[in-house]
Structure 1
Amino acid sequence: MATQGIRRWESGALAHAVSDPFGQGPLPWLRGSEHYFDGTGQVVPWYVDPDAEGLGAREPGSLRLPERPDTPPSPSSGPRTADDVRCQIKGFAPDHAVAPGEPIDFRVTVDPPQPFTIDIYRIGHYGGDGATLLTRSPELMGSRQPAPLVAGRTVCCHHWWLSWRLPVPPAWQPGAHVAVLTTADGRYRSHVPFTVRDNRRADLLLLLPDITWQAYNLFPEDGRTGASLYHAWDSEGRLLGEEDAALTVCFDRPYAGAGLPLHVGHAYDFIRWAERYGYDLSYATTRDLHAGRVDPSRYRGLVFPGHDEYWSAPMRATVERARDDGTSLVFLSANTMFWQVELAPLPSGDPDRLLTCRKRHSPGRSALWRERGAPEQTVLGIQYGGRVPVPHPLVARNTGHWLWESTGVTEGEELPRLVAGEADRYYPRVPLPAYDSRILLAHSPYRDDTGTLRHQETSLYRAPSGAWVFASGTFAWSPALDRPGHTDPRIQQATANLLDRICKDP
């Protein structure tokens, strides 16, 4: 097949790229050897021949798969990201979160079979590098794993055999980690994110949104079998929309594309900034929250640093109890707590490996929290309003409030490009949570996909228990903390004001 150009095609990530205009952020092992497309953080490996027979008959946004593998890069040019058709090297960790002293298992497929290595990085500031190398595996023998199991639209790789078991040293610092998989010939690379959690007392508990990450995962993006809660493929290789997407997805599979979840960079932004300035952080995932492994009474605040759209009933109940018992809540994104989901075990009995969301196209009641009589505004103080196709300024309000102290922000000042991706707002006809005080700290006009004028708002209220509940109402808040090209010192100071107040309150 001719390689006359690279065409941006509608994958699960790229179809929602407008929601994540920031990419992944600084990752030291990617320097100078990757070429991302349109800032999505996803490599697009598809080559399209405009003159190929039958291409003109395909619908806009469809793709034509290559008939033979692309010419691999030379080792001197650095590894290229593996794709989901050949799966030159792809993997996952069945237990996405482990405690120090516990083992983490990696299941990896390599095509063609050859040795490979795994480098383990921990995400943090590290002098601006964004991560540090902790350990490297010995050279491992790679083999081609069986094809994914497919049941309806659900894709599962639970049957892949163990490739490497790493006992996490007890001395390792908890946090967000990435395993970088590289073939021995130096040509291909992929990633496996995982979390080292802890349950020690700390000022703040960071909750990584692995449930939402999996909802967006279209693995394998192969034009045949991959499915997410947003997309699936038809028999002609065309990408289908939400009405034909999966109702259930499995955690036991790699992430599509580069192996890093869509929106993962938002959490990494907060981590780099917070660790740089010495905040006392513990780490867990939203599946830990769902499973009851989080005791909110051990923390002054729970921080949700990235896009966190999919919530189970146990997650929400735990967070509401935490707020009512005095633990503060910090939501640094938008469109939070939108869909209600269920988690179930695999037939093997492994718990919380199947994620189900009964969206509008499925039988029964809608899975929208707001349509089940529990709108997200009753927790957040605001709720999802719409998508923001082009970044707009965040317009500051009530700038005499302590959150804006020392930022230099004046009433009505516009902070450029800080309303982006998706936006929340206050709905006057929707119930509010109980509060002792409440304030809106931004009121920002923007135009949605249809050109309709809408507005975004940022909310802060104090619950009767004394807990603070902050919701930024925009995807751009976390990137403004530590994303090169997007940082804003005013947002950094406002966030510090908030966290300092939470951590120092008696």
Structure 2
Amino acid sequence: MKKSKNKISRRDVLKGAVNAGLAAALLPLSGFSNAEQQRSTLIIAENKKQGTTDWQLTYVKSEELRSKEIEGYCSKMSLRAGESIDIFLNASSQTDVSIDFYRMGYYGGKGGRFMQKLGPFSVQPQVVPPIAEHRLRECDWNKSTSFKIPENWISGVYVGKLSCTAHRYESYIIFIVRDDRKADLMFQTSDTTWQAYNKWPDSRHSLYNSDPPLQPHSARTWSSFNRPFSKYPQVVDQPLSQGSGEFLLWEYPLCYWLEKEGYDVTYCSNIDTHIDAKGLDRVKCFLSIGHDEYWTLQMFENVKNAVARGLNAAFLSGNSLMWVIDLKPEVKMHSAKLNKDAGLAKEVVDQKQVESDAKQNPYRTIFRIGRFGGVSKVEEALGIMGPFERNDWPNENTLIGARTMYPFNGSADWIVTKPEHWIFEGTGMKKGDKIPGLVGWEHHGDPADIPGLEVVAEGETINTTNAKSQYTATVYPGGKGNWVFNAATIYWSFGLSQPPGIIVPYSHFGRSHGVDERVQKITTNFLNRCGIKAAFKK
């Protein structure tokens, strides 16, 4: 019998799987093309490799949330294998520095895989930039080293652990390796939100700090990616956030669980979602995770249009898409002028170089330009938002299914309201059943008027001032046989897994209980409905 060019037999796949050491990880093979089978085993094969817990920081020293002893940042948040990244490091005194790179995943429960060591190389103290216009803190440091991403590094979130000879203290740099392959799931990191909350070089410098009059939610303050990530300043005292943004707080447990279960997942940054609308068509489902608060209008439109074309989406998050931001290149002209005024070393501005850098990497500065759905009358009365040039931004609930409502903060149990919905199949949950403490510290409410939208869980949140709000978890059909799920809580990923090093937060007098089989089953049910199967699920 003549073989189809587009199909492979079970015998062929078994032979290939044995050669790769993957026979135990085979998926059902009926109807799988060569490309689909290769796709389905990439993450499985990666996680068969030797893992380690050495990716964790052991000795961390923070002063005003900053790691002054050793710190750094990268020239890009996201890049492809084969591309190069510049790394900028600062130390409190001259020292030799090494960088150990790790890819984050499951790896037999270790949580990360050692990839490569860079260095040692000499690092000198570098200048903390002065405060520029819009309170911008943008480093113009000398490059410490460059690194070309090896061609065999697959898509994922990578941390570089910084260590040096002068002392025992450590911190991270972080970046995403993306690809262009077809995959089942796209895991989007929330790096624009990481930057909005970044308080480097001290506790007075994030997007939430302003010159008088004090307005934590205005358009007047700008934040730059050209600086290290400080230790995260809210909800949980997590030393592993030193240099890693918020990934190891809210997003990593989902990464760990997806790769543990053998899901076919690829990774991207917020910036990728902004610039690569067509890239959304290469996956079956888009994932927003944890604290995904800051989006550009282009990101919103790209994802919303992709859902209209048939993309599934899961917002396993809370407080997502609250703020509309704009993106600009690094502002080297301004910082160079300030360096000159301060009598610092860099006195000459190479205008052509500045323009070239801006073209190469135009997304290094963020600032608010509005509130998705517009500033409400209640929010306006608080006097802490805006003013913004426009207030007619699209409502985020038209994409998510619900939105952030004042008061934004609070904690609650996640309470089932529609147990007959397919998303609860096999959970055994009944109406009124609760998953304790799963809602927090921010959430989504105010469900949209979308045909077919159903509220599957809802309840009341209470914050530390006893102010109350409502959360609503929703599911709606996208119109092309696709689905959109809104879990309505930042804490959803804690119900999926608890990898090494993870600290469950406590906020507004509430906390998640951690891993819960019902959260795992609900997530699996949604992905199954999207036509996405885990290799290791029975």
Which category of TM-score, normalised to the shorter sequence, fits these structures?
Answer: 0.7 to 0.9
- Write the distance in 1 (CA, Å) between the matches of 2:251 and 2:96: 32
Percent identical: 27
Aligned equivalent of 2:449: 432
Deviations 1:145-191 (A, max 9, x none): 12224312443444212112121111112101111111213421111
> Helix, strand or coil for the counterpart of 1:295?
helix
Task: Give the gaps of 5 or more residues in structure 1.
Answer: 1-25, 36-42, 47-82
> Helix, strand or coil for the counterpart of 2:180?
coil
After TM superposition, the structure 1 = structure 2 runs for residues 20-99 of structure 1, keeping only pairs within 5 Å, are: 28-29=53-54, 33=58, 45=63, 84=66, 87-99=68-80
Question: Does residue 145 of structure 1 match 2:135?
Answer: no
Aligned equivalent of 1:326: 310
Aligned equivalent of 1:353: 364
TM-score norm. by structure 1 comes to 0.77
The alpha-carbon distance between structure 1 residues 449 and 426, as it changes in their structure 2 partners (threshold 3 A), is same
Task: State the Cα distance separating 1:454 from its structure 2 match.
Answer: 2.9
Aligned equivalent of 1:227: 205
- Write the distance in 1 (CA, Å) between the matches of 2:471 and 2:497: 22
- Write the distance in 2 (CA, Å) between the matches of 1:491 and 1:32: 29
Is this contact kept in 1: 2:219–2:369, CA < 8 A? no
The one-letter code sitting in structure 2 at the alignment partner of 1:383 is: R
> Helix, strand or coil for the counterpart of 1:211?
helix
The one-letter code sitting in structure 2 at the alignment partner of 1:357 is: R
Question: Does residue 493 of structure 1 match 2:517?
Answer: no
Aligned residues: 420
Deviations 1:446-470 (A, max 9, x none): 2234323432211000022222111
> Helix, strand or coil for the counterpart of 1:423?
coil
Is this contact kept in 2: 1:228–1:246, CA < 8 A? no
- Write the distance in 1 (CA, Å) between the matches of 2:498 and 2:282: 30
**Between structures 1 and 2, the one with greater helix share:** 2
Task: State the Cα distance separating 1:393 from its structure 2 match.
Answer: 1.2
Is this contact kept in 2: 1:330–1:470, CA < 8 A? yes
> Helix, strand or coil for the counterpart of 2:441?
strand
Deviations 1:125-147 (A, max 9, x none): 11222212111112111111122
The one-letter code sitting in structure 2 at the alignment partner of 1:253 is: R
- Write the distance in 2 (CA, Å) between the matches of 1:455 and 1:400: 22
Is this contact kept in 2: 1:393–1:416, CA < 8 A? yes
The alpha-carbon distance between structure 1 residues 246 and 145, as it changes in their structure 2 partners (threshold 3 A), is farther
Aligned equivalent of 1:113: 94
**Between structures 1 and 2, the one with greater strand share:** 1
Question: Does residue 340 of structure 1 match 2:324?
Answer: yes
> Helix, strand or coil for the counterpart of 1:137?
strand
The alpha-carbon distance between structure 1 residues 497 and 362, as it changes in their structure 2 partners (threshold 3 A), is closer
- Write the distance in 2 (CA, Å) between the matches of 1:197 and 1:246: 32
Is this contact kept in 2: 1:386–1:423, CA < 8 A? no
- Write the distance in 2 (CA, Å) between the matches of 1:334 and 1:388: 10
Task: State the Cα distance separating 1:117 from its structure 2 match.
Answer: 0.7
- Write the distance in 2 (CA, Å) between the matches of 1:34 and 1:472: 35
The alpha-carbon distance between structure 1 residues 252 and 122, as it changes in their structure 2 partners (threshold 3 A), is same
> Helix, strand or coil for the counterpart of 1:120?
strand
Aligned equivalent of 2:154: 173
> Helix, strand or coil for the counterpart of 2:228?
coil
Question: Does residue 365 of structure 1 match 2:339?
Answer: no
The one-letter code sitting in structure 1 at the alignment partner of 2:453 is: R
- Write the distance in 2 (CA, Å) between the matches of 1:27 and 1:247: 40
- Within the candidate set 144, 163, 174, 1:182 is matched to 163
The one-letter code sitting in structure 2 at the alignment partner of 1:169 is: P
The alpha-carbon distance between structure 1 residues 240 and 111, as it changes in their structure 2 partners (threshold 3 A), is farther
Is this contact kept in 2: 1:219–1:256, CA < 8 A? yes
- Write the distance in 1 (CA, Å) between the matches of 2:145 and 2:247: 27
- Within the candidate set 449, 457, 467, 2:472 is matched to 457
> Helix, strand or coil for the counterpart of 2:158?
strand
The alpha-carbon distance between structure 1 residues 90 and 153, as it changes in their structure 2 partners (threshold 3 A), is farther
Question: Does residue 283 of structure 1 match 2:267?
Answer: yes
Task: State the Cα distance separating 1:111 from its structure 2 match.
Answer: 1.3
> Helix, strand or coil for the counterpart of 2:443?
strand
The one-letter code sitting in structure 1 at the alignment partner of 2:482 is: A
The alpha-carbon distance between structure 1 residues 163 and 474, as it changes in their structure 2 partners (threshold 3 A), is same
